């Protein structure tokens, strides 16, 4: 059974005298052919074939790296297959069961179309064009390597890992180059990588246009200094010419050779080639990262080369390619046979590519496994016996299992290598620094520190990276990789580099200043207990409660004395209790608001202060009833005057208002969302109800003020009217000032405004109503007696002679109506005071009768009031 092997051991050039003449011996192609021979010999000796008595043969044809040459060779294979279909087959040579090759995708595509006509299986060890995985077009093609779709994906992943998003790409105009370019462009676009330039070189290095294309490519590279990373799918010869052209242009321009340095991402087509260096050093070129196929064990092939060196004459006689290598070496240096053989084998070892050797060995192993299985039941000497899909079998090579996928590919992944320099001239491939796994589309670094050392400082971007807090703004018509960095606006942020847009903060609970990389939680504010101003106000509240309780205890202890009875007796305790409640309501304005607190603070203040003002109103009416009204009206009002009923009615009206408020639209806690803070406060629910509550208290206070103002000239011990007037005036003024401040002000200290007004009102009542009494009780005890009260009343009566009612002299023949005004003991609660007999005033018609009634009166006046105590 014969297999055909198509390695490109020569390079073709176009001459006028011949269509395609092979020229310049390719050692790499010879190494691949020797690997093929060794693999077949190993398999022929293996139990897999010896057990079934099958031996593999081979026929090696040189493609000269040329499509036409390879197609002519393939045509010969097809003619041999046709020969066996005729009547006379005696002159036909052994038919070819399968073809191994080629290493170049363009050649593999061309011959695959020919082999498909006869369904002759083809297995390539190095052709990576993605189009070859299309079974509808190439049903007889298989390969032992991944297609370029995975290689370009690995390249894009590598570029993305290092943040290189502005790269150049060099490829060829053949099927391989076009396929690689299309795959790379689509995959790079998905990762946000832009192509700064694309340079497409002629596929054939013998093309007349190759020189101009190389020159133009070198110019483009030097004109794009920001593209520090270049991905190349070109051939080794292309890269060699390109490096030399770059050097020439830089030297001609008088520039430093450092401007030539780039990071070159090499495809499998040239990543392991040593010929690209020419006369340059790696210091001139820059860094080369190459993608290669998975490497195998070279022990078998190295053993074969050792045998070759030991028995060179035997091998050379059967292999014309070895003869040509020997002749070339002999022409270069005149040496003995032994030295030339050593030099030849050394050259073969230097050009050995472990990844390609593995691919060749897998191809032969797959064929051997299929032949051993099929040819036991069929006559494999006939053409077309083995169909392409029958070769897609699982096989074992060196105790490791391999399998083709449904596209006829074996996807082992890639090794990533870096070139390094040893001295100034020698370049060789470094140990593997990473592995790319196709199944997970990710890298595993085996020597990460080395790559970091060389590549971390490489910057290949059109624009500088946008730091967190900025976003990319591209200019219309430019690449998306060329952009400006704009700060995120207020309440927007970006937390990663090179973000396309800023993310919005949740403005309900977060905020951010301009150019922010994160959102800041809004600070929750309220009138807190630990606030300095709150501590001061709470101290005044506590002090007010303490003083109210002390005054209550003092008044309770002195409840039988004239000053306490004259001040209102039991009503004092009610007023003091209401003040304590009012102080407590003021304390509810401090702290983090909650629903119950918001409802309780206004209602508690409204009811408690209404109770306080109602009691003061009763006291004011009591004084007026005693001193200001005429006897007839006084009698009527005294019947209607019921202190506790009046207080109850006044308080009941306020309670009804508060109940309606709580039922229909009660106060509630809510959050005011400011740009950078969250202010927790109480909403009054219905501002109308809130206004009615305060207005009702103000109405009672105003009535108290009017009534107290009328009685401001009463005796000193009874003169609460002055203090009531002042306290009510203080209340009205403070609350009138509170209203515009409350309406126009917002913030954390708004509750403190109302709290201050409440304290002013409470302290005004406490100071005006109770402190003077406490002063008399504690320090003027002589004035807190019954006799002192009688004396005070008498002095008041004597001092007010100028306030009596008079009748003018012009009133003749008329009577001055007799009036009686009485200050009763029950009205002022002076204990044990016996009424003094009133001195009635008689009617008078003229001056003589008036003067006889009261000697001290001035003439032409008549006194018309009597006082009874």
Which tokens belong to 482? Answer: 């060329």
Q: Which residues of 426-444 are buried (b: 16+ CB within 10 A; e: fewer)?
A: ebebbebbbbbebeeeebe
User: What homologous superfamily does CATH list for 27-82+94-145+348-402?
Assistant: Response regulator (3.40.50.2300)
Q: How far apart are CA 696 and CA 694, in angstroms?
A: 5
Strands 194-201 and 262-266: unpaired
CA 65 vs CA 28, 71, 240, 244, 326: distances in Å = 12, 11, 17, 22, 21
How confident is the model at residue 571, as a pLDDT?
Answer: 85
pLDDT (tens digit per residue) in 817-844? 333 333 333 333 333 333 333 333 333 3
Whole-angstrom distance between the N-terminal and C-terminal Cα of the chain? Answer: 152
Please check whether residue 231 is in contact with residue 269, taking contact to mean a CB–CB distance below 8 angstroms.
no
Q: Give CA angle at 395 (393, 401), nearest 5°.
A: 125
**What stretches of 558-590 show up as alpha helix (H) in DSSP?**
562-566, 570-587
- Going 855 to 856 to 857 to 862, the CA torsion angle's sign is negative
**Cβ contacts of 247 within 8 Å, gap of 6 or more:** 257, 260, 280, 284
At 640, list the tokens: 């209607």
Using the CB atoms, write b or e for 693-726: b if 16+ within 10 Å: bbebbbebbebbbebbeebeebbebbbbbbbbbb
Bridge partners of residue 99, in order along the sequence: 4, 122
Give me the pLDDT at residue 167, please. Answer: 95
Residues of the chain with pLDDT > 90, as a percent, come to 29
Instruction: Tell me the pTM.
Output: 0.61
Quote the crossing angle between the two packed helices 720-744 and 687-710, to the nearest 10°: 160
The rounded distance, in Å, linking the Cα atoms of 324 and 24 is 11
Burial tier of 449 (Cβ tally within 10 Å: 0-12, 13-18, 19+): exposed
Q: What is the dihedral of CA 826, 827, 829, 835, to 10 degrees?
A: -50
Task: Identify the DSSP state of 441.
Answer: T
Burial of 334 by CB count in 10 Å (0-12 exposed, 13-18 middle, 19+ buried)?
exposed
- Residue-by-residue DSSP string for 141-171: EEESS--HHHHHHHHHHHHHHTT--EEEEEE
Q: How far apart are CA 113 and CA 164, in angstroms?
A: 39
Phi-psi region of 286 (alpha: psi -120 to 50; beta: other; left: phi over 0): left
Which fold is adopted by the domain 148-293+414-456?
A: Rossmann fold (3.40.50)
Strand partners, 229: 167, 263
**pLDDT tens sequence across 484-495:** 899 999 999 999
Q: Which residues of the chain have pLDDT under 70?
A: 1-24, 84-91, 314-318, 332-336, 422-431, 439-441, 445-454, 477, 624-634, 636-637, 711-721, 789, 792-869
Q: Taking the CA atoms of 288, 289, 291 and 294 in sequence, report the sign of the dihedral they define.
A: positive
- Give the pLDDT confidence score for residue 227 in this predicted structure: 93
Cβ distance 482 to 196 under 8 Å? no
């Amino acid at each position: 059974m014969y297999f055909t092997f198509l390695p490109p051991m020569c390079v073709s050039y176009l001459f006028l005298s011949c269509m395609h003449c092979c020229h310049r011996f390719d050692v790499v192609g010879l190494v691949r052919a020797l690997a093929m021979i060794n693999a077949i010999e190993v398999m022929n000796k293996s139990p897999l074939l010896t057990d079934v008595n099958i031996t593999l043969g081979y026929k090696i044809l040189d493609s000269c790296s040329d499509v036409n040459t390879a197609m002519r060779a393939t045509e010969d294979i097809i003619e041999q297959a046709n020969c066996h279909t005729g009547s006379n087959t005696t002159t036909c040579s052994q038919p070819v069961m399968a073809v191994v090759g080629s290493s170049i995708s363009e050649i593999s595509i061309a011959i695959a179309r020919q082999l498909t006509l006869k369904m002759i299986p083809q297995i390539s060890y190095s052709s990576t064009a993605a189009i070859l995985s299309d079974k509808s077009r190439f049903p007889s093609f298989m390969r032992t390597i991944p297609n370029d779709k995975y290689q370009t994906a690995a390249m894009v992943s590598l570029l993305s890992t290092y943040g290189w998003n502005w790269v150049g790409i060099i490829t060829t105009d053949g099927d391989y180059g076009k396929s690689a370019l299309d795959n790379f462009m689509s995959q790079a676009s998905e990762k946000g990588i832009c192509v700064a330039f694309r340079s497409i070189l002629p596929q054939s290095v013998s093309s007349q246009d190759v020189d101009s294309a190389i020159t133009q490519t070198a110019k483009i590279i030097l004109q794009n200094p920001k593209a520090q990373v270049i991905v190349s799918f070109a051939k080794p010869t292309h890269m060699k010419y390109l490096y030399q052209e770059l050097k020439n242009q830089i030297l001609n321009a008088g520039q430093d050779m450092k401007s030539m340095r780039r990071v070159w991402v090499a495809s499998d087509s040239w990543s392991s080639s040593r010929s690209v260096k020419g006369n340059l050093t790696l210091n001139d070129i820059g860094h080369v990262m190459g993608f290669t196929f998975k490497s195998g064990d070279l022990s078998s092939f190295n053993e074969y080369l050792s045998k070759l060196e030991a028995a060179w004459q035997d091998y050379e006689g059967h292999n014309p390619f070895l003869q040509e290598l020997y002749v070339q070496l002999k022409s270069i240096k005149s040496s003995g046979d032994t030295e030339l053989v050593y030099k030849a084998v050394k050259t073969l070892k230097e050009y050995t590519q472990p990844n390609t050797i593995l691919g060749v060995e897998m191809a032969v192993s797959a064929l051997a496994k299929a032949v051993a299985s099929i040819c036991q039941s069929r006559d494999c000497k006939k053409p077309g016996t083995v169909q392409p899909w029958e070769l897609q079998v699982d096989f074992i090579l060196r105790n490791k299992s391999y399998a083709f996928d449904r596209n006829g590919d074996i996807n082992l992944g890639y090794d990533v290598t870096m070139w390094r320099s040893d001295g100034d001239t020698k370049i060789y491939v470094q140990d593997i620094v990473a592995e790319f796994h196709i199944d997970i589309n990710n890298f595993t670094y085996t020597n990460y520190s080395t790559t970091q050392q060389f590549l971390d400082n490489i910057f290949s971007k059109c624009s500088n990276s946008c730091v967190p807090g900025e976003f990319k703004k591209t200019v219309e018509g430019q690449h998306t990789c060329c952009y400006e960095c704009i700060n995120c606006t207020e309440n927007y942020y970006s937390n990663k580099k090179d973000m396309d847009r800023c993310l919005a903060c949740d403005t309900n609970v977060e905020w951010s200043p301009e150019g922010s990389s994160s959102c800041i939680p809004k600070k929750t504010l309220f009138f807190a207990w630990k606030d300095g101003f709150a501590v001061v106000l709470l101290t005044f509240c506590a002090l007010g409660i303490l003083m109210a309780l002390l005054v209550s205890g003092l008044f309770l202890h002195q409840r039988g004395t004239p000053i306490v009875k004259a001040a209102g007796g039991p009503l004092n305790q009610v007023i003091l209790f209401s003040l304590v409640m009012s102080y407590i309501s003021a304390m509810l304005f401090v702290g983090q608001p909650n629903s119950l607190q918001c409802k309780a603070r206004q209602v508690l203040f409204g009811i408690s202060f209404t109770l306080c003002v109602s009691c003061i109103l009763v006291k004011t009416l009591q004084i007026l009833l005693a001193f200001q009204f005429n006897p007839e009206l006084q009698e009527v009002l005294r019947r209607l005057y019921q202190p506790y009923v009046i207080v109850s009615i006044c308080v009941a009206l306020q309670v009804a208002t508060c109940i309606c408020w709580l039922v229909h639209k009660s106060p509630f806690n809510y959050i005011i969302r400011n740009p950078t803070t969250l202010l927790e406060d109480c909403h009054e629910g219905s501002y109308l109800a809130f206004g009615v509550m305060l207005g009702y208290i103000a109405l009672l206070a105003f009535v108290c003020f009017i009534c107290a103002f009328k009685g401001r000239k009463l005796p000193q011990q009874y003169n609460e009217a002055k203090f009531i007037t002042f306290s009510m005036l203080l209340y009205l003024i403070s609350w009138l000032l509170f209203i515009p401040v409350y309406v126009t002000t917002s913030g954390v200290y708004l509750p403190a405004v109302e709290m201050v007004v409440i304290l002013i009102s409470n302290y005004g009542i406490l100071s005006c109503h109770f402190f003077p009494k406490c002063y008399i009780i504690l320090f003027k005890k002589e004035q807190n007696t019954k006799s002192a009260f009688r004396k005070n009343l008498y002095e008041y009566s004597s001092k007010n002679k100028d306030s009596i009612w008079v009748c003018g002299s012009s009133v003749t023949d008329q009577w001055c109506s007799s009036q009686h005004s009485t200050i009763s003991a029950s009205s002022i609660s002076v204990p044990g005071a016996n009424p003094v007999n009133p001195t009635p005033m008689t009617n008078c018609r003229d001056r003589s009768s008036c003067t006889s009634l009261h000697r001290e009166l001035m003439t032409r006046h008549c006194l018309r009031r009597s006082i009874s105590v």
